[in-house]
């Protein structure tokens, strides 16, 4: 099962965010947390919160009975797109004006488990098969 989390209108450019996004793409969740914790970029703080949200969404989506650490979650997809841009003007010499663009970005993160789910009924069937073999 996969879970998704989105970060919308993050107040930094998508180019700066992609530098951090590329560090954790395809990694296991616990490894990604370690990378983000020790990365000195501002985007790492935002992505750490987003990754925590995606893991929480995964746990809630499975019915709350499954622990994320047991199913070896990994980052299936992560990308950063440009968001809206605030446009401002700043005075420049000789009566001119320079345009200031305050950029934002949107980050989408999808986590998925590598270990498949084992239902409770399947475990009972396996136990019965083992007792028959003996």
Mean pLDDT of 61-87: 91
Distance from the first to the final alpha carbon of the chain: 35
Domains and CATH numbers, the chain: 2-133 (3.90.470.10)
Q: Decide if 49 contacts 26 (C-beta within 8 A).
A: no
- Of 7, 115, 15, 114, the C-alpha closest to 51 is 7
- Higher pLDDT among residues 118 and 100, named by residue: 100
Q: Per DSSP, what are the bridge partners of residue 41?
A: none
Count of helix runs (H) and strand runs (E) in the chain: 4, 3
- Pairwise CA distance, residues 26 & 39, whole Å: 17
Answering whether pTM is above 0.85, one says no
Mind listing the pLDDT tens digit for each residue in 19-63? 999 999 999 999 999 999 999 999 999 999 999 999 999 999 888
């Amino acid at each position: 099962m996969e879970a998704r989390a989105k970060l919308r209108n993050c107040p930094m450019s998508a180019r700066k965010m992609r530098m951090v996004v590329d560090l954790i793409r395809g990694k296991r969740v616990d490894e990604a947390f370690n990378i983000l914790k020790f990365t000195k970029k501002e985007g790492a703080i935002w992505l750490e919160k987003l990754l925590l949200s995606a893991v929480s969404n995964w746990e809630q989506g499975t019915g709350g009975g499954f622990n994320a650490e047991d199913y070896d979650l990994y980052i299936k997809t992560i990308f950063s797109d440009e968001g809206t841009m605030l446009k401002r003007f700043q005075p420049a010499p000789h009566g001119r004006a320079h345009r200031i663009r305050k950029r934002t970005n949107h980050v989408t993160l999808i986590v998925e488990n590598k270990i498949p789910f084992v239902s409770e009924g399947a475990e009972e069937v396996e136990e019965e098969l083992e007792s028959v073999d003996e």
